Amino acid sequence: MVAMSSSDTTTPVPASQPALARAPIAERRPVPREHHGEVFTDDYDWLRDKESGEVIAHLEAENAYTASVTADQEPLRRAIFGEIKAHTVETDLSVPSRKDDWWYFARTEEGKQYGVHCRVRAQDTGDTAADWTPPVIEPGVPVPGEQVILDGNAEAEGHPFFSLGGLAVSRDGNLMAYAVDHTGDERFTLRIRDLRTGQDLADEIPDVSYGVVFDRTGTRVFYTVPDESWRPYRILAHTLGTPNEQDQLLFQEDDPGMWSGFGLSADRTELVVSIGNSEIAETRALDLPETADEPLGELRVLVDRSLGMLHGVDPVTLDGQRHYVIVHNKDFTTEEPGHGPAPAPNNMVSLAARETVTDPRSWRTVVGHSDTTKVDGAAVTATHLALGVRRQTTPRTLVMPLAGLGTGQQGQPVEPDFGEELYSCELAGAPYESPFLRLSYTSWVTPSQVLDYAVADGALHLRRQVEVPGYDPQQYLVERWWAPAESTDRRVTIPLTVIRRRDTEWNGSNPCVIYGYGSYEMSMDPGLSVARLSLLDRGVVYVVAHVRGGGELGRTWYEHGKKLHKKNTFTDFVDATRFVAQSGWVDPDRIACMGGSAGGLLMGAVLNLAPELYRACVAQVPFVDALTSILDPDLPLSALEWEEWGNPITDPAVYRYMAEYAPYENVRAVDYPAIAAVTSLNDTRVLYVEPAKWVQQLRRTVTSDQQTPLAEGGSPIVLKTEMDGGHGGASGRYRAWEDRAWDYAFLLTALGATEPV
């Protein structure tokens, strides 16, 4: 049962102010946790039993309390939802992408939650450029011969949740494999549809992970299976029309700290299997038979994990001979005495012949290592190599011909030229036979563009720019600031992206929202957010703090924010906040912070470090009980996390270090800001129990005024649980808009910035 105790009441409020409803108080049921001679008592561990009616009743009570506390924000939420809707063309479509004999695209329709996947026949006239130029298709207007292959709205009907985990079409265009999740737990059911009839075949495989592809013949599909901790560890081949029990196991990874995944080579003649984590990788390959009656062979190792390096492999044929383009982080052309190959943390690119690929000393350098540019990956077509790189925080694309690759006679990489400083240009498609590379371009203020880059002459062809009704980019300004890392080393400067309306005055009175993530080498890249306009148009100065632990400044930036350097992530965010507060642009008393998942861990940690800096915080699916979760290898994905945080089970130093920053274990008896923790019951990446426990610990510990309404200056602490969602929250675009409107209304109410400027 959910117990209420008078001893847990919060600070009384003056009679002149309206008091809030009583927050749910969970009963304390102490469970000791002992590791390395240290004991932590967890009073709320019982909340992890999601099958318990008592736990569900508690979460529903929290939702009811949250609804009551934030009821006055409903008009603002409706306004923000309306603004997002007004800035969105609801009946729209993607740019068609060609595969084999069809152009594939997706439509969205006004009033419908999910996209509709469609296709039309392609033409082959002999004019390569014309044949690979996408047809002009109008939103809401059917094209003669257009075929709907999957309607997300129909698939979602009768279900509280819908998500696709993979979609692939056979080479002859007759069959479609697709994986569907109807709960949000990221375990999918794989089905096969005959696109000639629109009917699903009898083949059905439950509990698969992300990703599905056909072989060359269209008679087999490849898929992955997760273990009990949700780690993709088995790769299987299913022959259509046969029982699932006969599916051929191609690979099984037994190391609990390693992922498995697969993809097809660009020419679709090889299956490439990738195994690894954030520090080490292995790649294997399988030659795919040309006919259905040929059996599948054995996977062969291309790059062994014993080399101890991260890498990616792309098969390519040069002058009739099979080779592999390898992006890797060790330089085997330079040996360090007693240490082996020299480190190349920002990666280099090499070319290896099939016969000698297992010997890295035989690899030929294509692009050497750079201290200022990180190579994130590669893709090949029949004629060119494209490289995804990152320089000065921003992702870019380089292109070079395959001719002469690795011989010293190769052409120099060419980068498409754009006029903005802070932008994102990423490879969005590289069809093997196409004369174009499909690029995605955007910036913090530029709506997304789909471009086709002609590899022959470097010309850029704009295929589409996302229309944002009522939006004028000239009204907004983006700047790059650099904040010194005062807490650790002033020589380190933290890049900040600062976005504001151009008419914002430098008078020290503006509200501010600071966003951060800082883990897994993930970068917070430029991109226009329609929802963010609702903040900017209310005078908010929006700041993205690119803290250590992310990948914005290369591999070293990441490594200095992981494991026993993880605290740098948190102190960087605090230092960035102080820098912004002293900039003269914002009111130091009107700063809010926001982050999700590992960014939610960031939120919990910085609130413990410097709660006085923030007026409010929204923590989305927050990883706030990280130590407890990582200590349990049976929980989803826990063992994989050891490469990011260290292994506190076996290493006392890691345990003590994590215990010093774990948000749930370090809540202090001081004033904290208003806090909204947002989670989902079926999230398998960050379990709902983490924010549920954290909220209870906060309520009973902090000294701030939790009884006065948010709009009146109070600091309530609320938990909102999506009962039918996963790690990304509820499914469907309108539900996503509602979620973002809820988050922003909470922050804007706390900042006193509810009206457009």
Within 8 A by CB and 6+ apart from 674, the residues are: 615, 616, 617, 710, 714, 715, 716, 717, 746, 750
Q: Dmax over Cα atoms in the chain, in whole Å? A: 85
For 587, the enclosing helix (H) or strand (E) is strand 586-596
d(CA 22, CA 198): 54
Phi, psi of 633 (to 5 degrees): -70, -10
d(CA 31, CA 45): 7
Within 8 A by CB and 6+ apart from 719, the residues are: 59, 62, 63, 66, 676, 677, 679, 691, 692, 695
User: How far, in Å, are 63, 85, 418, 533, 706 from residue 9 at the CA level?
Assistant: 19, 41, 58, 39, 9
- What secondary structure letter does DSSP report for 447? P
Question: Own/partner pairs for 396-399, CB < 8 Å, 24+ apart?
Answer: 396/425, 397/425, 397/426, 397/427, 397/437, 397/439, 397/453, 399/437, 399/453, 399/455, 399/458
Calculate the dihedral angle through the C-alpha atoms of 549, 551, 557, 559, rounding to the nearest 10 degrees.
Answer: 60
d(CA 515, CA 649): 31
Q: Please check whether residue 352 is in contact with residue 323, taking contact to mean a CB–CB distance below 8 angstroms.
A: yes
* 131, amino acid identity: D
Q: Please check whether residue 514 is in contact with residue 577, taking contact to mean a CB–CB distance below 8 angstroms.
A: yes
- b vs e for 376-398, b when ≥16 Cβ sit within 10 Å of the residue's Cβ? bebbbbbebbbbbbbbebbbbbb
| Nearest-10 crossing angle of helices 733-751, 74-86 | 130
- What secondary structure letter does DSSP report for 625? T
Tokens of 269: 């003649």
Quickly list DSSP for 1-44: -----GGG------TTSPPPPPPP-PPP--EEEEETTEEEEETT
Q: Please check whether residue 144 is in contact with residue 137, taking contact to mean a CB–CB distance below 8 angstroms.
A: no
What SS3 string covers 638-702? CHHHHHHHCCCCCCHHHHHHHHHHCHHHCCCCCCCCEEEEEEECCCCCCCCHHHHHHHHHHHHHC
Query: Active-site residue numbers?
Result: 597, 683, 727
Residue located via tokens 């990304």: 728
d(CA 397, CA 650): 42
d(CA 149, CA 106): 10
Q: Please check whether residue 349 is in contact with residue 387, taking contact to mean a CB–CB distance below 8 angstroms.
A: yes
d(CA 61, CA 459): 59
Burial (CB count within 10 angstroms: exposed 0-12, middle 13-18, buried 19+), residue 141? exposed
Quickly list DSSP for 513-550: EEEE---TT--------TTTHHHHTTTPEEEEE--BTB
For 500, the enclosing helix (H) or strand (E) is strand 489-501
d(CA 548, CA 529): 23
Tokens of 742: 């809820």
d(CA 188, CA 56): 24
Phi, psi of 363 (to 5 degrees): -70, 145
